[in-house]
Amino acid sequence: MSAARRLLRFNPRLLQSRTNKRTAAVTGAAATPPHTSVGNAVLFSGSAQCRRPEGRVTVHFINRDGQKITTSGAEGDSLLDVVVDQKLDIPGYGACEGTLACSTCHLILEQEVYDQLGHIIDEEQDMLDLAYGLTETSRLGCQVCLSRSLEGATVRVPAGLFDMRRADSSGSSSSA
């Protein structure tokens, strides 16, 4: 039995916003393999079969410690795909594997990039509501796809709860 459990899921909202190589219409059997990671170990990438070497887009990630990482992905890859494929060191990033069920892939974009990306569906906005350190130019990395117009963009990984509230050992106010 393979190490990664393939959960059957069909997320029409993702298909609506773009072609997502990582989800597949499910009628019963196999779904596109998810990205999984422990720290930096990646089992496999769902986007490998669609990659076109000439369509690479360069993006810069500023990590929580201020470190700048320059990397790239294929056109059509989501920023979550890039983090996983390039094994970027962002603990806990993408917990729900791009299914709009968490906010751990939260990224802060530059204003111009944010503006040109356009409409955000309700389901993404709903998850962004729960993100720590939400800003006016925040997006979920699993919903932002690389295209030529993102070439050279810089995205920032926001501070996590443990960065913002070190002295406070009490719980958050959101419900389970």
Q: Is 175 in the site for other proteins (CB under 8 A)?
A: yes
Q: Between 148 and 175, whose beta carbon lies closer to other proteins? A: 175
Spatial CA neighbour of 22 closest among 39, 38, 9:
9
* Contact in structure between 1 and 26 (CB atoms under 8 Å): no
Q: For residue 78, state whether it binds other proteins (rule: CB under 8 A).
A: no
Supply the minimum distance, in Å, between the C-beta of residue 149 and other proteins.
Answer: 27
Interaction of residue 39 with other proteins, rule CB under 8 A: yes
Regarding 148 and contact with other proteins (CB under 8 A), the answer is: no
126 residue type, one letter: D
Q: Which of 41, 49, 53, 148 binds other proteins (CB under 8 A)?
A: 41
- Cβ-Cβ contacts under 8 Å for 12 (sequence gap 6 or more): none
* Binding string, residues 92-121; x marks residues near other proteins by CB under 8 A: x--xxx-xxxxxx-----------------
Which is it for the CA torsion 120, 124, 130, 134, positive or negative?
Answer: negative
**Contact flag: residue 15 with other proteins (CB under 8 A):** no
Evaluate whether 77 touches 86 at the Cβ level (below 8 Å): no
